[in-house]
Structure 1
Amino acid sequence: MSMDYRRLGSTGTRVSELCFGTWRFGRETGGVVETTKSEAHDLLDTFAEHGGTFIDTANVYGTPNGKSEDWIGDWLAERDREQYVLASKVYFGFDESNPNGSGLSRTHIRRQIEGTLDRLGTEYLDVYYIHRWDDETPIEETLSTLTRLVDEGKVNYLGASTMASWKLMKALGKSEANGWERFEVTQPLFHAAYRDDVADYLDVCADQDLAVCPYSPLAGGFLTGKYERADPDDPTKVEAPDGSRASIYDSFSDFYLSERGWHVLDAIRGVADELDATPAQVALRWVMEQDAFTCIPIVGARTPEQLEENVGACDVSLSDDQFERIENARYADPDRKRRWGH
């Protein structure tokens, strides 16, 4: 069981079919570290053993900020860095005491790229994302600064995370008009129960041949099937295993629980039974089999066993009927309100 490799959108770089997300590395929740350094390195070992090469992090991942990058850098120090495709991000506040310690200004980007490269122990990033859009900084300042980083060899490709579709188009237009580097990779919230809400954004990605690397492709773990509905009249009531995100985060129901989500989960479970696969594998495969754009989901497993289960999605194949049943399950919801995750 190992991964194949896909071209990253219209770039010439090839990456593993799954990207490994490291936002839990060193993150403290309620005074407890979600993923310790030894656990982080075990996960990275498992990912690499199955052919994984694409690793995603950010300057603000970990407690304190930068810990995730530090730990990845320590792991990479004993390996051939050229075998891996590294992505990090900039935008959110890194230094609360500095009035220029957040956003996408030239000042903040310049400071943060140096810190990120130092922590990762590398001379360049393969992908550098803007973590969010900065309404306080002209996009021209941001794009010209990022282009200079590419020219200097510190970054290979630019990426953009969640934003309105018109903002993505605006940035692409500015890049084309000024001869700047453009965003080649995107990172929206996208999973089987959350397609219509980002349809315009994904249409831009398809039209412009941008790679899509969605975060939370399993809806925060909801689409793994480990949750059960607790109240037939209230989709936000759930039976959650101890230690799961639903049992830790009060916002879980706002992000991921809705009638639409339960309908999609039922369809995923049905297909999983037919394929002798797990719901997580089927949910990931549905995302991977998008035909309008290259889609490389970011998985954030807590244990090597969970990660190996996720990698099993690479060996699953959906029929046209199975793919469409999962897609159409969204429309069984009579109350189709916009949800963060569903």
Structure 2
Amino acid sequence: MEYVKFGNTGLDVSRLSLGTMGFGDPVNWVHRWALNETDSRPVIKKALDLGINFFDTANMYANGVSEEILGNALKDFARREEVVIETKVFWKMFDGPNAAGLSRKAIMTEVDNSLRRLRTDYIDIYVVHRWDYNTPIEETMEALHDLVKMGKVRYLGASNMYAWQFQKAQNVAEKHGWTKFVSMQDHLNLIYREEEREMLPYCEDTNIAITPYSPLAAGRLTRDRNESSLRLETDKVAVSKYGSTEDVDAIIIDRVGEVAAEKNVSRSDIALAWLLQKKQVVAPIIGATKMSHLDTAVKALSVNLTPEEVHYLEEAYQPHPVVGAN
């Protein structure tokens, strides 16, 4: 496993992060393909055995169950100081007022709930899951800064917003001497590259760590277009992301298969290698639900794409509707 600095911090993270949106209660969670705790634990253990020290979750994944599963497993399998835990806040967690968003009240409530579920005293990277149009950004950034000063959070990250919003938040924090974001978790893969227009150049200029989610486009970049899977058949969220662009994405998916065959590696190796060659991409978030997914992902670290191969994979891309930012 390779380890790199997390953007402009001194934090060391593995080049791959294990995403845990697929861990939870498949009966009571929107993702019917999710793994329950019994089936999730071997995947988490496998990640640790492979040297992955970076784990991503969110308070809303399976309504908190994902955090519980991850917290229990890491408590049993790892030393706290050796792992980097990232979780998120924004989405509605209960019925009633103050149940969602980035108000001071919501943030202070949800960080304590996440700490309890994760069975830890601190969160390494606390990420705002979306931009909150209903709360002044000054209120949000001050509350997040206070969490850092309390010792409940080590670093701050953001996800799913426009570049102007991210820059505004950074400027507000700098103006007041508050803690700034050190990472951006955005939607980025070979069939969704809208982040390359403004967000990636801004993050490169300011040395912000990029941790892309959906690096394999919910499995679309891992198999031939006539193949299926339980997730492809049941993941309505993924359909909302990629369903309307299937025709324009088809040629890119086919080219991933061609390059993979020429290099005698898997399609996922090619998709991940494409991400890893981008300067600001620190650690793609791998939503593994099988131990074999992790073995394959690690192999991608040794796959090198030539400039000609990168161009071949990229040249057919067409602009897509923005997905992720509100």
Both proteins in one fold, TM over 0.5: yes
Name the CA distance, whole Å, in 2 between partners of 1:252 and 1:152: 37
Cα contact 2:22–2:288 (8 A) shared by 1: no
Cα contact 2:88–2:126 (8 A) shared by 1: yes
Structure 2 CA distance for partners of 1:273 and 1:54, relative to 1, 3 Å: same
1:174-193 equivalences in 2 (<5 Å): 174-193=172-191
Question: Does 1:307 pair with 2:294?
Answer: yes
SS at match of 1:204: helix
SS at match of 2:197: helix
1:311-330 equivalences in 2 (<5 Å): 311-330=298-317
Q: Quote the residue 1:275 is aligned against.
A: 263
Q: Quote the residue 2:55 is aligned against.
A: 55
Letter in 2 for 1:217: P
Q: CA deviation at 1:337?
A: 4.8
Letter in 2 for 1:282: I
Name the CA distance, whole Å, in 2 between partners of 1:4 and 1:338: 34
Cα contact 1:27–1:33 (8 A) shared by 2: no
Letter in 2 for 1:301: A
Q: CA deviation at 1:326?
A: 1.2
Name the CA distance, whole Å, in 2 between partners of 1:254 and 1:302: 21
Q: Quote the residue 1:103 is aligned against.
A: 101
Q: CA deviation at 1:295?
A: 3.2
Cα contact 2:276–2:282 (8 A) shared by 1: yes
Using structure 2 for the length normalisation, give the TM-score.
Answer: 0.93
Cα contact 1:187–1:215 (8 A) shared by 2: yes
Structure 2 CA distance for partners of 1:14 and 1:221, relative to 1, 3 Å: same
1:1-342 equivalences in 2 (<5 Å): 3-28=1-26, 32=32, 34-62=34-62, 65-78=63-76, 79-97=78-96, 99-196=97-194, 198-228=196-226, 240-243=227-230, 245-250=231-236, 252-256=238-242, 257-291=245-279, 293-330=280-317, 336-338=319-321, 340=323
**1:184-225 residue CA offsets vs partner (Å, 9 max, x unmatched):** 011111001211355212122111111011110111110002
Name the CA distance, whole Å, in 2 between partners of 1:105 and 1:38: 35
Number of corresponding residues: 319
Over aligned residue pairs, what C-alpha RMSD do you find?
A: 1.8
Name the CA distance, whole Å, in 1 between partners of 2:115 and 2:44: 19
**1:298-334 residue CA offsets vs partner (Å, 9 max, x unmatched):** 0101211122112211121111211222122315xxx
Cα contact 1:287–1:295 (8 A) shared by 2: no
Q: CA deviation at 1:128?
A: 0.2
Same amino acid, percent of matched pairs: 34
Letter in 2 for 1:169: Q
Name the CA distance, whole Å, in 2 between partners of 1:339 and 1:142: 24
Name the CA distance, whole Å, in 2 between partners of 1:112 and 1:77: 21
Name the CA distance, whole Å, in 2 between partners of 1:295 and 1:214: 9
Q: CA deviation at 1:175?
A: 1.1
Letter in 1 for 2:70: I
Of 174-183 and 246-255, more deviation after overlay is shown by 246-255
Structure 2 CA distance for partners of 1:254 and 1:107, relative to 1, 3 Å: closer
Cα contact 1:21–1:298 (8 A) shared by 2: yes
Name the CA distance, whole Å, in 2 between partners of 1:33 and 1:222: 15
Name the CA distance, whole Å, in 2 between partners of 1:328 and 1:159: 31
Of 131-140 and 263-272, more deviation after overlay is shown by 263-272
Name the CA distance, whole Å, in 1 between partners of 2:137 and 2:34: 35
Letter in 2 for 1:90: V
Cα contact 1:272–1:279 (8 A) shared by 2: yes
Q: Which runs of 5+ in 1 are unaligned?
A: 229-239
Q: CA deviation at 1:45?
A: 0.8
Name the CA distance, whole Å, in 2 between partners of 1:119 and 1:259: 42
Of 25-34 and 118-127, more deviation after overlay is shown by 25-34
Cα contact 1:8–1:294 (8 A) shared by 2: no
Letter in 1 for 2:168: K
Name the CA distance, whole Å, in 2 between partners of 1:306 and 1:156: 30
Cα contact 1:91–1:130 (8 A) shared by 2: yes
